[in-house]
Chains A and B, each alone.
Chain A
Amino acid sequence: MSETTHDPAPTHDRDGRRTFCKLCIGGLSVASAATVAYPVASFLGMPITVGANKPVAVPLSSLAPGQAHYAEFQGQQIVILSDEEGQRVFSASCPHLGCNVMWSPADALFHCPCHGAVFNSHGQVVSGPVSASLKKVPFEVKNGVIIVS
């Protein structure tokens, strides 16, 4: 053992080591925090919703005349109506404040459960606190199947 090993290292050298250790500990802490934070932040993000943009396909044979068929299209409720005048597709959202209107086969009218708006089978306003008719949704009929896309 030489004498120099027992001497305390010069101050600037010890400071260098101290800073190095601090940087290492700090770096590892940040890296550890990031490995936890990244998956947690991802988890809190939006989940993948399968089939959100899938077209709605309903065979005409499954639609009873005068009955409404509800389906989900792009995250919104739509209502398919079939009677002697043909088929119509509306957004179920009431143009007043967005509640879903209910089809009542007894009087062949749409009733909004929230504020009592009433629409006829063509989506036109009959009564209630609303001036716009139900929004029409474009559709096509192919080989006896209603397709909304």
Chain B
Amino acid sequence: MRLLGRIFDWFDERYELTPLIEKNVTHKQVPRTLGWSACFGGLAFLTFLVQVFTGMLLLMYYKPHPSAAWDSVTFIKSNVPMGWLVQRIHTVGANTMIVLVFMHFARVAYYKIFRKPRELHWISGVVLMLITTIMAFTGYLLPWTQLSYWGAKVGTEIPGAVPWIGEGIRNWVRRGPAISGETLGFFFSLHIWILPAVAVAFMLMHFMMIRRTGISRPL
């Protein structure tokens, strides 16, 4: 304990951590009337971090190819130590994240927190919600099971209903007229790099603006 304290002090002396911790954690003032429902956004962010971490672990064995994807997921679940757990946390975590994001969304809508000066919090939040759902949708295809295949088929059929340009959008999303290895590659790149990177940018915007305006006080 003494030793840990001395190591902390060494860093504290150089980086001045104590004022940072006091300002943001131990001495942070939040409105007394704020309830537990104010935690949904933070919890959604926590599940995002869990998803990023478990996703990095799964990436060690996952192979984004039609002939290898299913086998690699089966390999993770049955041959990698604790692989079943990491894979399951990633799946359940996706559902949990969506539930938390929607609860956060419902609370903000119900208390009308989106009003001036917080319009941009709302807009960046809606973008983040869309990214979350697309990340869940693209991740659903990756194990390349019957469920994933038909889920992706039905999901990509939806923009096809748009008049005139629908078929073009559908084929663009599928990278061709049908669900194929190209769809898998596209969804994979969206799922592990493009969408998380965009999400992080919008999260920075979302969080920095909350620091700027402060947490909304319920009436």
Contacts and interface: CB of A to CB of B under 8 A. Distances in A.
| A, B assembled together | yes
Interface of A: 38-40, 42-50
Nearest to B75: A47
Interface of B: 57, 61, 75, 78-83, 85-86
A42 B80 CA distance: 8
Nearest 8 CB-CB pairs, A to B? A42-B81, A42-B82, A39-B82, A47-B80, A48-B79, A47-B79, A43-B82, A45-B81
A50 B75 CA distance: 10
A96 to B, nearest CB: 32
A43 B86 contact: yes
Nearest to A22: B1
B158 to A, nearest CB: 36
Q: Is the interface of A mostly helix, strand, loop or mixed?
A: loop
Given A43-B57, A49-B79, 19 more contacts: A38-B82, A39-B82, A39-B85, A39-B86, A40-B57, A42-B81, A43-B80, A43-B82, A43-B83, A44-B57, A46-B81, A47-B61, A47-B75, A47-B79, A47-B81, A48-B78, A48-B80, A48-B81, A50-B79
A40 B82 CA distance: 8
Contacts of B82: 38-40, 42-43
Contacts of B57: 40, 43-44
Contacts of A48: 78-81
A42 B85 CA distance: 11
Contacts of B79: 47-50
B77 to A, nearest CB: 11
Contacts of B83: 43, 47
A49 B79 CA distance: 7
A147 to B, nearest CB: 26
A39 B89 CA distance: 11
Contacts of A38: 82
Question: Which residue, B78, B79, B82, has most C-beta atoms of chain A within 10 A?
Answer: B82
Nearest to B81: A42
A141 to B, nearest CB: 33
